[in-house]
Structure 1
Amino acid sequence: MKRKAIAVWNGDIKSGAGHLTTQSTTLNKTQYSFNSRFADGVGTNPEELLAAAHAGCFTMKLDLDLTQAGYTVESLETESVITLDNGKITLSELTLKAKVPGITEEKFQELAAGAEKTCPVSNAFSFEIKLNATLIA
């Protein structure tokens, strides 16, 4: 499988702007700029996209692992916060809230940790990943 995205940029880093388009066109000329990355400007940015990719991939992998282990998932909600520090991405912190009837806390934590280690996006990252998983009754 291959997926693609196209980035277009015009102008200098501070006053210029660009847009991103993904193969599926879910992002279709979605704007990004210096302000959307480093201030409160409108648009997206690479770190936000990495956070979305990590949260989505991990959540899907955990759902697969839970299903294969015989559990029926009621809901999984994952937030990923990407930290950019001195020009380097240093951390993705995953915070998971899950409703999985009939699973023990121990088994839930085991499967969540396993999914974090084996989801393709986690494997692509060389920076630290932290997982905070909460099972909701």
Structure 2
Amino acid sequence: MSSKSRSPDGANKNKSKESLWTKAFSTKTDWPDKEEFLDVVYWMRQAIGIILGLCWGLLPLKGFLGLLLFVVVNAAVIYFYVNNYQNVDEEEFGGMWEITKEGFMTSFAGFLVTWIIVYTGLHGSNSL
């Protein structure tokens, strides 16, 4: 027997997943399920990591400057999204530090892989 509990209104569960996109892109949304909001922050970070990796790879950014800019831009975008766009009470989610570190390391890994591949592909032959 499975320990997984099923919701009696399975159809409504699918509608709530569809409306997650709407909630993520709407301003000042009410987030009764804290995990949904943290999931949105997590996946937003993953997208930011890939996009910044592409940008940093297209620009010939190297070294500590690229890493520092990634950290600053990534944290600033999430901070702006949480405080100004969604206007959530950060204490409900464990404070701003908990929200800021949500998905950071996986975003950083995706950023590094994308940055290295794009930079090497475009600018790697110039260093030979």
TM-score bracket for the superposition, by shorter chain length: 0.3 to 0.5
Alignment TM-score, normalising by the size of structure 2: 0.37
Q: Which has the larger radius of gyration?
A: 2
Structure with greater helix percent: 2
Q: Which has the higher contact order (CA 8 A, sep 6+)?
A: 2
Please report the TM-score for the alignment, with normalisation by the length of structure 1: 0.35
